Structure 1
Amino acid sequence: MVIAMNTCTRRMAAVSLLLGLTACASASQPAAESAMRPQAESPASGGSFTGVGYAGPGIEPEAPKVVVKEVNPYAPVIIRATGNGAAPYTSALTPSQRKLLSMRAARLDAFRSIAEQVQGMKLVGNSSVANMVATSDGFRTYVDAYLRGVRMVSTNMLPDGTSEVVAEITLDQDFYKQYKNALEKTGSVMKAAQQNGVAGVECTEGNCGASRYESNFYVAH
C-alpha cells in the first residue's frame, strides 16, 4: 500500500513538472516572436510586411527650387583689342620719330580691331580655278566705322622696335538704345549695324550716326 502511494506521488510530481514546462514554453514563444519582429505592423507609419516585402508609403523627393535671376539687358560690355605697329626703316627719320610712328601705327591697328568687333567688316574674296587647279586666290577686308570713347589701356615698346597697344571700349546703355532704334527703323541687322555709327559714350546732336565716315576714319577721345 505504501509503495503504491509513493508511485502515485511520483507520477503526480512528474505530471505537474511537465505541465509547468509546457506553460513556460507557451508563454515565452510569443515574446520571442514579438522580439524578432518588433516593427511587423506599425500603425504610425501606415505600412506592413507582406510575404514578398514591405508595403507602405514611400519617401517623396523634395521639389527643386527654381531661382529666377534678373538680367540687365543694357549691362555694359567691355571690348578689348591689341594693336601692333612698326616704324619704317629709313635713315631720314630720327629714333624719336621712328618710335612715335610705331606707336601711332599700333594705335590705329587697335582701333581697327575694335571696329571689326563692334561694327563688323566687309569681306570680298576672289578665287580662280583652271583645269581643276586653283590659279589665284585673294580677298580684301573693308572697315567703315566711327568710334568714340576708346581708351588706351597700355602702350609698350618691344625689344625688336615694334610697339604694342591695348585699347578698350565700353558699350553702354546709350549704344544699345541707338542700335535698337536703328534696327526698328531699318528692320535689318546688317543695315542697323551700318547706320549705327557711334559706339560708347553719348554723342552730340547731329553727329550720332547721322554722318558716315569712310576710308577707315577713326576718332579717339
Structure 2
Amino acid sequence: MFINVVKKSKIIAQSILIGFTLSLGSCGIVDKHVEWETVEPDSYPVLKAVGYAPIASQHGDSESTKLIMAMKASKLDAYRELAEQVYGQRIEGNQALSSLVVESEMLKASVEGVIRGAEVVKAYPVGDDTYVTELSLDMKQVYALYLTTTKPRRVKDVKYY
C-alpha cells in the first residue's frame, strides 16, 4: 500500500510539473512576425556656415604661404560652425567666490562631431588681411550618406500566430 501511495504521489507531482511548465510556456512565448519600414523626414534643410581667418598672423615665410594657411584656417572655422549647427555647443562654466566677491570666472565652449557631405560654396579674401570660406551642407545628402551605413526603421505591421 505504501508503494502505491509513493507511485501516485510521483505521478501527481509529475503531472503538476508538466502542467506548470506548459502554462508558463504558453503565456510567455508568442510567435510573431514584425514588418519594418524606413523612416524619411518630411523636409531637408540646407545649412550654411562662414569661416574667417586673418592672413598676416599665419605662420609662414612668404605671403603666399600665409595665404594658404589662412585658407585652411577659414575652412576649419566654417566646419566648426557647421558642427555647432548640427550637434550644438557644449558650454561649461565655473565661478569661484570668496567673501561674496568673485575671485575667478571661467567659461569653456566645445563642439564635437563628424560633418560629411559639406561643399565649399565660395572662398575669397576680404580686404587686405582676412580670408573667408563659405560652406553649404544639404541635409538631404547627409541623410543619403546616413542610409548607406544605418537603416532607420519603424514598425510597419505585427502579425501574431
TM-score by length of 2: 0.60
Correspondence for 1:105 among 62, 70, 73: 73
Determine the C-alpha separation between the residues in 1 that align with 2:100 and 2:108. Answer: 24
**% same residue:** 23
Q: How many residue pairs are counted as aligned between the two chains? A: 111
Secondary structure at 1:202 match in 2 = helix
Q: Assess, with a 3 A threshold, how the Cα gap between structure 1 residues 157 and 90 changes in structure 2: closer, same or farther.
A: closer
Q: Does 1:134 align with 2:102?
A: yes
One-letter amino acid of the counterpart of residue 78, structure 2: A
Unaligned runs of 5+ in 2: 1-39, 151-161
8 Å CA contact 2:59, 2:69 repeated in 1: no
Displacement of 1:132 in angstroms is: 1.8
CA distance in 2, matches of 1:201, 1:103: 29
Q: Gaps spanning 5+ residues in structure 1: where?
A: 1-71, 175-198, 209-221
Q: Which amino acid is the alignment partner of residue 81 of structure 2?
A: S
CA offset at residue 168 of structure 1? Answer: 1.3
AA aligned to 2:93 is G
Is the CA contact (8 Å cut-off) linking 2:58 and 2:69 kept in structure 1? no
**More strand, by proportion:** 2
Partner of 1:143: 111
Q: CA offsets per residue over residues 54-86 of structure 1, 9 Å max, x none?
A: xxxxxxxxxxxxxxxxxx942110111111112
Mapped pair 1:115 → 2:64:
no
**Counterpart check, 1:165 vs 2:108:** no
Larger RCO of the pair (alpha carbons < 8 Å, separation 6+): 2
In 2, distance between residues paired with 1:167 and 1:154? 7
Q: Based on CA coordinates, which of the two structures has the bigger radius of gyration? A: 1
Shift of 1:92: 4.7
Which structure 1 residue ranges, 4+ long, deviate > 4 Å from structure 2? 203-206
Counterpart code for 1:116: E
Rounded to whole Å, the distance in 2 between the matches of 1:90 and 1:145 is: 26
Q: Supply the RMSD in Å over aligned alpha carbons.
A: 2.5
Alpha carbons of 1:148 and 1:90: their partners in 2 closer, same or farther (altered >3 Å)?
closer
Query: For residues 98 and 168 of structure 1, what CA distance do their matches in structure 2 show?
Result: 25
Q: Secondary structure at the match of 2:145?
A: coil
Give the C-alpha shift of residue 131 in structure 1. Answer: 2.0
Is 1:202 the equivalent of 2:145?
A: yes
- CA 1:204 to 1:93, structure 2 compared with 1: closer, same or farther past 3 Å? farther
Of 156, 159, 170, 2:124 maps to: 156
C-alpha distance in 1, partners of 2:69/2:146? 29
Tell me what 1:186 maps to: none
- After TM superposition, the structure 1 = structure 2 runs for residues 1-221 of structure 1, keeping only pairs within 5 Å, are 73-87=41-55, 89=57, 92-172=60-140, 199=142, 201-203=144-146
